[in-house]
Amino acid sequence: MTSPAPQPAGDRPAPPPRRRPGGRTARVRTQVLDAVLAELGEAGYDGLTMEAVAARAGVHRATVYRRWGDVGGLLADVLDAAGDDDWQPPDTGSLRGDLAALNQEIQDALTAQPPIVAALIAASFRSEKADRAQRRLWEDRYARCEVIAARAVRRGELPPDTDARRLLIAATAPLYHQLVLLRTPPDPRLPDQAATTAALAASAGAFTESPPVGDI
């Protein structure tokens, strides 16, 4: 289970198909998307071909071309399938706890082996279809996470006019920056540290319309 990071179908039950529930269409989709994840994990974007996916899935090549078009179409469907789940952000009872647990999920996803989530993010720099699907997934994940701020407001931990999205970006951005761009080795303290930083800033009113900048 994860969070703003995409969670491909690999380790969990296949998502429901969009059009024909059950049946052959759904089975083929599951086989093909699982094959995409396996190929991506082994060889990355450069090793991902329609032929290899069809062969691994045991599905006719023509079917894969007809339904997904190209590698970008396959990646986009993997990402869309990852969003077809009932994932909800952690609910630990405190803002800092929720953000730390969320960050831990992100760090786990970004450092998992095989590096599927990292490969999907890298692929979003190569394929416009994957890019759009990755952004849809992130948008969906961040929207689901806004409940973290709403709960904190109800508990009196945050001012009511807190901008939930800015708080969530501030809390999670250091994980992505360190692990995806700076590519530093994962630091086990980072999820909690980034959560604590965002929670401290939030308590100080950093994410309200007019932050109390005072003398800083």
User: For residue 62, how far is the Cα from the chain centroid?
Assistant: 30
State the nearest-atom distance from the C-beta of 16 to a copy of itself, in Å.
27
The two three-digit tokens of residue 9, written as one number: 């179908």
111 binds a copy of itself (CB under 8 A): no
For the chain, the 3-state helix, strand and coil shares in percent, each to the nearest 5, are 65, 0, 35
Could you tell me the smallest distance in angstroms from the CB atom of residue 125 to a copy of itself?
Answer: 5
Binding pattern to a copy of itself, positions 67-106, x when CB under 8 A? ---------------------------xxx----------
Looking at 16, 47, 58, 211, which residue binds a copy of itself (CB under 8 A)?
211
Q: What's the CA gap between 112 and 169, in Å, rounded?
A: 22
Buried b vs exposed e over 167-195: b needs ≥16 C-beta within 10 Å?
Answer: bbebbbebbbebbeeeeeeeeeebbbebb
Q: Is 43 in the site for a copy of itself (CB under 8 A)?
A: no
Q: Are 37 and 78 in contact (CB under 8 A)?
A: yes
Separation CA 165–CA 179 (nearest Å): 21
What's the min distance (Å) between Cβ of 46 and a copy of itself?
A: 9
* Site for a copy of itself contains 7 (CB under 8 A): no
Site for a copy of itself contains 26 (CB under 8 A): no
Closer to a copy of itself by Cβ: residue 84 or 157: 157
- For residue 116, state whether it binds a copy of itself (rule: CB under 8 A): no
For the bound state, the minimum distance from the C-beta of residue 22 to a copy of itself, rounded and expressed in Å, comes to 35
Residue 191 interacts with a copy of itself (CB under 8 A): yes or no: no
Q: Please give the C-alpha separations between residue 57 and each of 11, 24, 47, 180, 195, in angstroms, as whole numbers.
A: 16, 13, 16, 29, 40
Neighbours of 119 (CB within 10 A): 22
Q: Which of residues 143-172 bind a copy of itself (CB under 8 A)?
A: 157, 166, 169-170, 172
CB of 14 to a copy of itself, least distance (A): 27
130 binds a copy of itself (CB under 8 A): no
Task: Check: CB of residue 145 under 8 Å from CB of residue 168.
Answer: yes
Residues forming the site for a copy of itself (CB under 8 A): 94-96, 121-122, 125-126, 131, 135, 138, 157, 166, 169-170, 172-174, 176-178, 180-183, 193-194, 196-201, 203-207, 211, 213, 216
